[in-house]
Amino acid sequence: GENVEQHPSTLSVQEGDSAVIKCTYSDSASNYFPWYKQELGKRPQLIIDIRSNVGEKKDQRIAVTLNKTAKHFSLHITETQPEDSAVYFCAASTYDYKLSFGAGTTVTVRA
Amino acid sequence: DAMVIQNPRYQVTQFGKPVTLSCSQTLNHNVMYWYQQKSSQAPKLLFHYYDKDFNNEADTPDNFQSRRPNTSFCFLDIRSPGLGDAAMYLCATSARTGLLETQYFGPGTRLLVL
């Protein structure tokens, strides 16, 4: 099955700086890569996703890049704000409609 | 408007006492999932339904069962809860349209086993 590794496990950044989270996957058949943000005690919420036919996608301060050859994808958050503090999960999916999650990254934005 | 609804939000049960968690959706999605999430960990898929077809994960304990009586509702039954089953249980849905679609999560039910 698919194996997704996520790094780092914790990330502390100064407000206004950028945050980068990296994930690698094992199954070359994976072709859908969502990122979820989960605040304490709340549900995971999709913040951005990318499909295998696209190399980069941006939504305001958030961007995701995908390198299919190297089997890795990354989340970039620019101009971080305190409300960006949360746990972020990457995931990968094939056509079996199941998500394989990374272990999560706890992001803390220092004011 | 709530799209994926889970009830109750908090559930307390006793060791070994059966418990049922419920999930409903207004999205008319044909795939519904149940995840278990323990503190500081990623959600772990227990099983999912594609319409009425049930798909169990290989490592899901027999203690966990599920029912999907119609498109809108799905239930998670824990037959004999143990202390290790205390967790957040998340329901999610997605549409199966030939493309891989987003999974939308409900707010979760936090289960406490005494």
B104 to A102: CB separation less than 8 angstroms, yes or no: no
pLDDT confidence of residue B62: 94
E strands, B38-86, in order: 44-50, 53-56, 64-67, 73-78
Four-residue CA torsion sign, B31, B54, A3, A6: positive
pLDDT confidence of residue A103: 96
Q: A95 at the B interface (CB within 8 A)?
A: yes
E strands, chain B, in order: 4-7, 10-13, 19-25, 31-37, 44-50, 53-56, 64-67, 73-78, 87-94, 104-105, 109-113
Question: A3 to chain B, minimum CA–CA distance in Å?
Answer: 13
pLDDT confidence of residue B26: 93
Q: B48 at the A interface (CB within 8 A)?
A: yes
Question: B45 to chain A, minimum CA–CA distance in Å?
Answer: 8
Question: Nearest residue on chain B to A90, judged by CA atoms?
Answer: B42
A62 sits in which H/E element: strand A62-67
pLDDT confidence of residue A53: 81
Q: Tell me the pLDDT of chain A (111 aa) as tens digits.
A: 789 999 999 999 999 999 999 999 999 989 899 999 999 989 999 999 998 888 999 999 999 999 999 999 999 999 999 999 999 999 998 766 789 999 999 999 999
Question: B111 to chain A, minimum CA–CA distance in Å?
Answer: 13
pLDDT band at B99 (very low <50, low <70, confident <90, very high): low
pLDDT confidence of residue A84: 97
Q: B108 at the A interface (CB within 8 A)?
A: yes
Count of all residues that appear for chain A in the document: 111
pLDDT band at B2 (very low <50, low <70, confident <90, very high): low
pLDDT band at B1 (very low <50, low <70, confident <90, very high): low
pLDDT confidence of residue B98: 62
pLDDT band at B101 (very low <50, low <70, confident <90, very high): confident
Q: A45 at the B interface (CB within 8 A)?
A: yes
Q: Which candidate, B1, B40, B8, places its Cα nearest to that of B110?
A: B8
Once rounded to an integer, what is the mean pLDDT over residues B8-29? 95
Q: A58 at the B interface (CB within 8 A)?
A: no
Question: Nearest residue on chain A to B34, judged by CA atoms?
Answer: A98
Question: A15 to chain B, minimum CA–CA distance in Å?
Answer: 23
pLDDT band at B102 (very low <50, low <70, confident <90, very high): confident
Does residue A50 contact residue A33 with C-beta atoms inside 8 Å? yes
Upper half-sphere CA count for residue A98 (Cβ side, 13 Å): 19
| CA B29 from centroid of its chain's CA atoms | 15
* Alpha-carbon separation of residue B66 from A7, A30, B60, B62, B95 (angstroms): 34, 27, 11, 11, 19
What is the rounded average pLDDT for all residues in chain B?
92
Position B81, amino acid: P
